[in-house]
Structure 1
Amino acid sequence: MDTEIQSYIDEAVKKAVDEQFTTALKKNSKAAIIASKGTLDMAYPPLILASTCAALDIECQVFFTFYGLDILRKGKNAHLGVPPVGNPAMPVPVPNIIGMLPGMTAMATKMMNGWMGKVGVPTIPELLDTCVESDVKIIACQMTMDVMGIKREELIDDIELGGAATFLNYATGCNITLLV
């Protein structure tokens, strides 16, 4: 393709994206995110999205439920793993029979932590701190805590407890709602 045409297309796309983004911010955007999984690869998306919302002045709440509560557990959140079994999208595909061998989760976790560290991605505890410091509202699901026997003192500070009604009350006023 001609470079002049490509430059025109690139500029037009950039302008359209910028206009859409500015319009969205002007609407007093609010985001509601559900974090339902507690593995390393599933802890990053809700925290990156929430901290980005905060950086863009988009009000945000993250509701941590079921295994997503592990992201909030003191001591555990710094040691979340990446299971290679049943995870076909891994950059280095691992057959399930190999992924079940002892030590494979630790190896996959070490690889992912290495990749993230190499490009300067903050750790899960660092992202949580950023969210808290940026006024992202963090809600731990009380029902899930009860079902799983998780005590409040096992979770990080500066969070709230609530149930589905708490989340839904907030989410009904949001123009961005995501399940991770």
Structure 2
Amino acid sequence: MPKKLAIIASKGTLDGAYPPFLLASTAAALGFEAKIFFTFYGLQLLNKELSLKVSPLGNPAMPMPVPVPSIVQVLPGLQGFATWMMKRKLKKKGVASVEQLREICIESGVELIACQMTVDLFDFKHEDFVDGISSGGAATFLEFASEADITLYI
């Protein structure tokens, strides 16, 4: 019986997208059965068209090339600059894109589950999501998570 990995993805930012997809694709490569439950802002990661951003505001751990005082972080355009910097660094280091990692997960058999309550709450349309995902509620995910060897909230 394969090991099981259950992940709850609740963040819809560029930096929040990498952990669930990296961990799930790695787990699948190691022979785990893996499922990611996308809820609240994490549902953004299932959209066909991704427009993910990273914000230095409220994230003191974000490595910036120069220290940025907190007051400066609210200036218009800084979020776009931080996102551009992060994408540039990821590309320079040869890190796969979020879209590539998501596709690897789907191809590897990782089940991507859209939280139906959140879909209804935010009026998402299933046709806006990538193909190959499923839909379910908390009970559906908890049934799997209760038997998982590893459960992560990201």
- The TM tier, using the shorter chain, reads over 0.9
RMSD between aligned residues: 1.0
Q: Deviations over 1:79-112 (max 9, x none)?
A: 2000111010011143331111111011000111
Q: Secondary structure, in 3 states, of the residue corresponding to 1:178?
A: strand
Give 2:35's aligned amino acid: Q
Q: Deviations over 1:106-129 (max 9, x none)?
A: 100011111111111111111110
Q: In the alignment, which residue of structure 2 is the partner of 1:91?
A: 63
Give 2:153's aligned amino acid: L
Q: Secondary structure, in 3 states, of the residue corresponding to 2:11?
A: coil
Alpha-carbon distance between aligned partners in 1 of 2:29 and 2:89, rounded to the nearest angstrom: 24
Determine if the alignment matches structure 1 residue 152 to structure 2 residue 126: yes
Q: In the alignment, which residue of structure 2 is the partner of 1:170?
A: 144
For residues 86-125 of structure 1, the aligned pairs below 5 Å read 86-92=58-64, 93-125=67-99
Q: In the alignment, which residue of structure 1 is the partner of 2:113?
A: 139
Q: Is the 8 A contact 1:63 1:140 kept in 2?
A: yes
Alpha-carbon distance between aligned partners in 2 of 1:103 and 1:34, rounded to the nearest angstrom: 31
Structure (1 or 2) with the greater helix fraction: 1
Q: Is the 8 A contact 1:35 1:68 kept in 2?
A: yes
Q: Percent sequence identity over matched residues?
A: 54
* Unaligned ranges ≥5, structure 2: none
Q: In the alignment, which residue of structure 1 is the partner of 2:153?
A: 179
Give 1:66's aligned amino acid: F
Alpha-carbon distance between aligned partners in 2 of 1:28 and 1:50, rounded to the nearest angstrom: 14
User: Rg: which structure is higher?
Assistant: 1
Give 2:58's aligned amino acid: G
Q: Secondary structure, in 3 states, of the residue corresponding to 2:113?
A: strand
Give 2:60's aligned amino acid: P
* Unaligned ranges ≥5, structure 1: 1-26
Q: Would you say how many aligned residue pairs link Structure 1 and Structure 2?
A: 152
Q: In the alignment, which residue of structure 2 is the partner of 1:37?
A: 11
TM-score by length of 1: 0.82
